[in-house]
Amino acid sequence: MSSHHDLFEKETESWLAGRARTGQAPACARALDAAYLRGPDESSWAKASRRLRDQLMIRSPRVYYDRVESALVGRLWVAVTDHGLAAVTYGGRESEFAGWIGRRLRSTAVRSPERTAAARRELDEYLRGRRTDFSLPVDLRHVTPFQRRVLEAARTVPRGTVATYRDIGRSIGKPGAARAVGQALGSNPVPIVVPCHRVLASDGSLGGYSGRGGLRTKRRLLALEGALLV
């Protein structure tokens, strides 16, 4: 064994035992300190970041989205999860919708024509008058228990007919909650499929509609379904 190697071992042993003179760390320790201070190069950082992002994407819940173009109501954005249709939104930019649905569902939003194909097809057929109801499962896990009861009650209103906020309140055992029913319907995450447009104000007037076009869109949907307008 060389004398240089013996000296290196002695320096290292003294340093590990705390006997080295101040500022006299062995060469290997000085080399490690220098490497730590430099840090990884840019390509290594980029590669590590990509691997981390890919792993997070794999582990994160997914929500899939795409758009539907309709002559009747304009552009719609739709989103689905493994549990069903989670959102239908009128218009807006793709980035806004993807950001909103990702935050709302705490998921990674991925545009996917394949995963949204059934939802887009049924909506397109419905808005063209070629379909009278939906077979889509609806994912209402992210609404409050009260809103879920209101939305489920709205789904029972038959096509071609209307109900009022008070009617929906009575059906869920809350006859005095017409205003709260209206608010719950106003934030319906899946309009058209959950037909909040079939629910009118308690005085029988059209009430409101939060979708793009407001009451004009509500009238068009009711007319499509053959409902008697007030």
Boundary-marking domain end, from 123, 142, 161: 142
**166 and 108 part of one domain:** no
Residue among 133, 62, 125 at smallest CA distance from 98: 62
Residue 113 in any domain: the answer is yes
Model pTM above 0.75: no
Residue 152 in any domain: the answer is yes
Task: State how many domains the chain has.
Answer: 2
Domain that holds residue 177: 143-230
Burial letters for 90-126: b for 16+ Cβ neighbours within 10 Å, e otherwise?
beeeeeebbebbbeebebbbbeeeebbeebbebbeeb
Neighbours of 127 (CB within 10 A): 20
Q: What's residue 47's pLDDT?
A: 74
**179 and 169 part of one domain:** yes
Residue 160 in any domain: the answer is yes
**149 and 208 part of one domain:** yes
**135 and 215 part of one domain:** no
**119 and 183 part of one domain:** no
**136 and 159 part of one domain:** no
Show which residues are catalytic. Answer: 196
Q: What are 4-63's pLDDT values in tens digits? A: 556 556 666 666 666 655 555 666 666 666 666 766 777 776 776 666 665 555 557 899
Q: What's residue 202's pLDDT?
A: 85
